């Protein structure tokens, strides 16, 4: 056995210094300061609670709120047409279900609300009603695809998924052409 003293490597010394300085910095933090950004923090000068900063980008909330309004309008149209033309309920069931789930998914984001749709009337025939729904689906798909291009991350994927779904739903509402070749 050797009686040499243990030597500290340079790496261990630098890591120790970094950890110690990090601990000193953290010890100096105070959560009760108004500028800390902590929701519910109290401003020591005024004694008032500081409002929480938004956790979601306001532009994202605006885009998703607009999308929720469009989807809510589609839900309303599906309900109206399904009520006026009960024979179409089976054909409209999938679209109504998907739009309800899209609306719920959009509203999971903090601050997103769906505007109440305006009063509309159902077309005079079932075929015209399906054509109107197909047109609304296409318009909503275009709007949601454009909105998806302006945001990023999960919100962009959600809007793109909704746009694709609307495009597919719109195509299923129109009658298929007989004798059409590809």
Domain limits of the chain?
A: 58-113+126-173
Q: Which residue has the higher pLDDT, 117 or 1?
A: 117
Tokens of 170: 């719109």
Asked if CATH classification 1.10.600.10 holds for the domain at 58-113+126-173, the reply, yes or no, is no
- pLDDT band, residue 106 (cuts 50/70/90): very high
Amino acid 33: pLDDT: 46
- Residue whose C-alpha is closest to residue 71's, from 91, 88, 96, 90: 96
| Residue 42 pLDDT greater than 90, yes or no | no
- pLDDT band, residue 45 (cuts 50/70/90): confident
Tokens of 84: 């006026």
Amino acid 114: pLDDT: 87
Q: For 25-45, what is the mean pLDDT?
A: 54
Beta partners for 151?
A: none
- pLDDT band, residue 38 (cuts 50/70/90): low
Q: For 65-74, what is the mean pLDDT?
A: 94
Report the range of poorest mean pLDDT among 53-57, 83-87, 144-148, 171-175. Answer: 53-57
- pLDDT band, residue 34 (cuts 50/70/90): very low
């Amino acid at each position: 056995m050797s009686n040499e003293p243990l030597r500290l490597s340079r790496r261990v010394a630098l890591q120790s210094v970094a950890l110690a300085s990090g601990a000193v910095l953290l010890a100096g933090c105070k959560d009760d300061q108004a500028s800390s950004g902590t929701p519910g923090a109290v401003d020591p000068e005024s004694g008032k609670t500081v409002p929480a900063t938004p956790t979601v980008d306001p532009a994202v909330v605006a885009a998703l709120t607009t999308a929720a309004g469009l989807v809510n309008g589609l839900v309303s149209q599906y309900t109206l047409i399904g009520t006026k033309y009960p024979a179409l309920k089976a054909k409209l069931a999938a679209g109504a279900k998907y739009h309800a789930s899209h609306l719920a998914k959009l509203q999971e984001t903090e601050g997103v609300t769906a505007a109440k749709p305006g009063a509309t009337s159902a077309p005079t025939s079932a075929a015209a009603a399906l054509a109107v729904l197909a047109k609304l689906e296409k318009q909503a798909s275009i709007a949601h695809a454009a909105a998806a291009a302006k945001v990023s991350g999960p919100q962009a994927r959600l809007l793109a998924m909704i746009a694709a779904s609307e495009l597919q739903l719109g195509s299923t509402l129109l009658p298929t052409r007989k004798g059409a070749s590809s």
